[in-house]
Structure 1
């Protein structure tokens, strides 16, 4: 494989690894928010922001962790037939199917960027008692889809390398 592709694979995977490791700790943030919510309900001073903040943090946890999960190969896969294939056949099948994933992620990224731009432009807020701005979570969603798209291209490059008998 050309040196620039190897460099691209290494840089994307290193970045997604760091983001994924950071995202793992968001679970503790969610727990802290929910514990705070429980405490405030016990003392009869419930906070309005805790449920939505926990939901936003869960979205960030899930979506920022997705490229990391895909990178490690721990994503859910229907292995009924795939697991029986040789590594070369698996790579060939992945090269065919990854284009569906890349198309899907491209459409999702386009929609996420459009929605984020709308939120910035109009100051969109969540219709609740707390009324937080929605652009921060929409920006995280857009960023997550971009990282997932980059990781899918890395997966494609790795599969092409396997088909060529090379390893990155």
Structure 2
């Protein structure tokens, strides 16, 4: 494999590893927000921001964790036949299907960018009592889809290297 492909795969996987490890700790932040929500209800101090904050953090947790999950190959597969195939056939199947994934992520990223630009340009806010701006969570969505797209391409290069019996 060319050196630029090796560098690309290492670079993308290093970024997604760090982002994924950071993202794991968002679960504790979500738990803290929910504990604050519970405490505010017990003490009759309204905190109308807690539910939406927890939802926004969970979006970040879920979406930013996806590239890391793909990197570690811990994503869920619904396979009836895949698990019975030999490794070489599995890799060839992965190489074929990764193009569908890349197309899908590309469409999602296009929509996310369009939605984020629109949200930012009009100052879109959530129609609730707290009324937080929506562009930050939409920006996180764009970043997550970008990282997932980069990871899918890196996964493709790893599969090609495996098929050629070359290490990256």
CA separation in 1, counterparts of 2:118 and 2:124? Answer: 8
Q: Which runs of 5+ in 2 are unaligned?
A: none
CA separation in 2, counterparts of 1:166 and 1:16? Answer: 23
**Normalising by structure 2, what TM-score?**
0.98
CA separation in 2, counterparts of 1:85 and 1:151? Answer: 24
CA separation in 2, counterparts of 1:32 and 1:14? Answer: 29
Taking the TM superposition and a 5 Å limit, the aligned residue runs for 1:15-30 are: 15-30=15-30
- How much has 1:106 moved relative to structure 2? 0.1
RMSD: 0.7
SS at match of 2:84: coil
SS at match of 2:75: coil
- How much has 1:167 moved relative to structure 2? 2.0
**Is residue 12 from structure 1 mapped to residue 12 from structure 2 by the alignment?**
yes
Q: Which runs of 5+ in 1 are unaligned?
A: none
Deviations for 1:115-145, whole angstroms, at most 9, x for unmatched residues?
A: 0000110000000000000010000000000
CA separation in 2, counterparts of 1:167 and 1:89? Answer: 18
| Equivalent residue, structure 1, for 2:33 | 33
- How much has 1:46 moved relative to structure 2? 1.7
| Equivalent residue, structure 1, for 2:52 | 52
**Normalising by structure 1, what TM-score?**
0.98
SS at match of 2:85: coil
- How much has 1:83 moved relative to structure 2? 1.5
CA separation in 1, counterparts of 2:84 and 2:4? Answer: 33
- How much has 1:79 moved relative to structure 2? 3.0
